[in-house]
Amino acid sequence: GDSVTQMEGPVTLSEEAFLTINCTYTATGYPSLFWYVQYPGEGLQLLLKATKADDKGSNKGFEATYRKETTSFHLEKGSVQVSDSAVYFCALSDPSNNDMRFGAGTRLTVKP
């Protein structure tokens, strides 16, 4: 079945460092891909999305490009801030299913 594999954490960076969190997927159809962020004690917030190959999702300085040839959707940010500390989840939604499949999450800690 469809699945998402994302880079294991935790990831610890200094403020203003470059961030990459790897995400790859397996799907039989043509899924939409998402990154969600979860701050401590809260639910999930949609960070960005891409619905077809070569689409680039972006929001709040974060970017991810839907790469069909490598089945990847890596999350990047050029300069992280302390406020970016959270758990990041990669997810996919396939039109043949009505559920969303999530990766295990990557905890990011940014130190001043």
Partner 1 sequence: DAGVTQSPTHLIKTRGQQVTLRCSPKSGHDTVSWYQQALGQGPQFIFQYYEEEERQRGNFPDRFSGHQFPNYSSELNVNALLLGDSALYLCASSLAYTYEQYFGPGTRLTVT
Only one residue has tokens 């040839």, namely 69
Does 89 help bind partner 1 (rule: CB under 8 A)?
A: yes
Query: Could you tell me which residues come within 8 angstroms of residue 42 by beta carbon, excluding any fewer than 6 positions away?
Result: none
- ∠ CA 45-58-51, rounded to 5°: 80
Nearest alpha-carbon partner for 32 in 53, 5, 13, 58: 53
Near partner 1 by CB under 8 A, which window of 20-28, 29-37, 53-61, 68-76?
A: 29-37
Shorter beta-carbon distance to partner 1: residue 106 or 110: 106
Query: Using CB under 8 A, which of 21, 23, 25, 32 touches partner 1?
Result: 32
Does 28 help bind partner 1 (rule: CB under 8 A)?
A: no
Query: Using CB under 8 A, which of 40, 42, 70, 112 touches partner 1?
Result: 42
